[in-house]
Homo-oligomer: A and B are copies of this chain.
Amino acid sequence: MNEAYLTAFRELMSMDDVLILVHRNPDGDCLGTAFALKRAFENLGRRVCVAATGTVDRNLRDITDGAEELKPTFLPSAIVSVDVATQPMLGPDLACYADTVDYNIDHHYTNTEYARNNIVFGSASSAGEVLFDLFRACDVEIDDVMAEKLYAAIAFDTGCFRYSNTTAHTHEVTAELLKYSFDAPAVIRKMFDIVPLRQLKLERVALDSLRLYHDGRVILLPITRKMLEENGAEDEDVSGMVSLIRRIEGAAVCATLKETKEGDVKVSLRSADDIFDVSAVASVFGGGGHVKASGCLIKGSMEDAEQRLLSAIEARLCGQEDGV
């Protein structure tokens, strides 16, 4: 491992009054990583807190020890971001810290290295995997609680070890984590499996409005406010829906289009084969993400958004078919 990285991380671990920043709308990887790091500082008797823009989804609150909101609670002397590829990813609540990040621990190739010290492993599956390697390389003692949170982080970003970012090293790290004492299946079940009945009911209704194009290679699923309201569903109940339609045999590109409270359309895109790059489609609308999973916001009505999204997908699909 890069010696400069280790020096920076050792410096970080010597700090007190540490503020840990995660990306907006925090996911399992940034939260698991942040709370494992928080625990490491606590075990050393330091003052530390985690802050985020946006609330913590219900299925991730075991990681945050129940917290739904994460706000800074003291004036920090050191600021570290985890799993935050770019400064805008901090979101409005943390924008004030964007130019003063001391340590940036991440696994995105696209990280813009905006901090004083940047520890970025583009080949790691997750920020959790990066932090485990840093802990081990710098002899930071890992306890059961930290192991559980790192396991959650890695499992989240690898889709429970199924995505192509999962490497032999990811499994080696996970093997080490499972030697600690915690209930791994319960971690997975809470993060991925448990859904309120209302969400299944929403899925049922939504499936009625499934739109198949190009012999089912393109599948769009519009989800209106009306559907949500009629099923007593919440915005977060929609998040797993794109994975559901991605499973349909023959699909190459899938997207859910969710009408927002403001009347715009939030799009989640997934590539179902290994070829179609959905981040290119998302970028047409100012969004971004990964080749296989991206998102964007399209201003305007559902009908209009659906048409524009379909056109953007088709433009790329045709290019692909022509071998461009």
- Measured CB to CB, the residues of A under 8 A from B are 160-164, 166-172, 174-176, 178-179, 183-186, 188-189, 192-197, 200-201, 203-204, 207-208, 212, 216, 244, 246-249, 274
Contacts and interface: CB of A to CB of B under 8 A. Distances in A.
A216 to B, nearest CB: 7
A201 B170 CA distance: 36
Sort A-B residue pairs by CB-CB distance and give the 5 closest, nearest first. A171-B175, A168-B178, A168-B175, A162-B188, A172-B175
Nearest to A186: B274
A171 B178 contact: yes
Contacts of A195: 247-249
B247 A194 contact: yes
17 contacts: A160-B161, A160-B162, A162-B185, A162-B188, A163-B185, A164-B185, A166-B185, A171-B171, A183-B274, A193-B247, A194-B248, A195-B247, A196-B249, A197-B248, A200-B244, A203-B204, A204-B208
Contacts of A246: 193
A172 B200 CA distance: 36
**A192, A194, A246 interface centre (most CB from chain B within 10 Å):** A194
A97 to B, nearest CB: 36
Nearest to A166: B184
A49 B324 CA distance: 44
B201 A207 contact: yes
Given A171-B171, A200-B247, 16 more contacts: A162-B188, A166-B184, A168-B179, A169-B175, A171-B172, A171-B175, A183-B274, A185-B274, A186-B274, A194-B247, A195-B247, A196-B249, A197-B216, A197-B248, A201-B207, A204-B204
**A196, A197, A246 interface centre (most CB from chain B within 10 Å):** A197
A163 B193 CA distance: 12
Contacts of A176: 168
A139 B166 CA distance: 27
Nearest to A197: B248
Contact of A200 (B163, B170, B184, B248): B248
A128 to B, nearest CB: 14
Contacts of A164: 184-185
Contacts of A162: 160, 185, 188-189, 192
A213 B195 CA distance: 17
A126 B292 CA distance: 30
**A168, A203, A208 interface centre (most CB from chain B within 10 Å):** A168
Contacts of A174: 161, 171
Given A160-B162, A172-B171, A185-B163, A207 B216 contact: no
A182 to B, nearest CB: 12
Contacts of A166: 178, 184-185
Contacts of A207: 200-201, 203-204
A167 B178 contact: yes
A133 to B, nearest CB: 14
Nearest to A189: B162
Contacts of A194: 247-249
A191 to B, nearest CB: 10
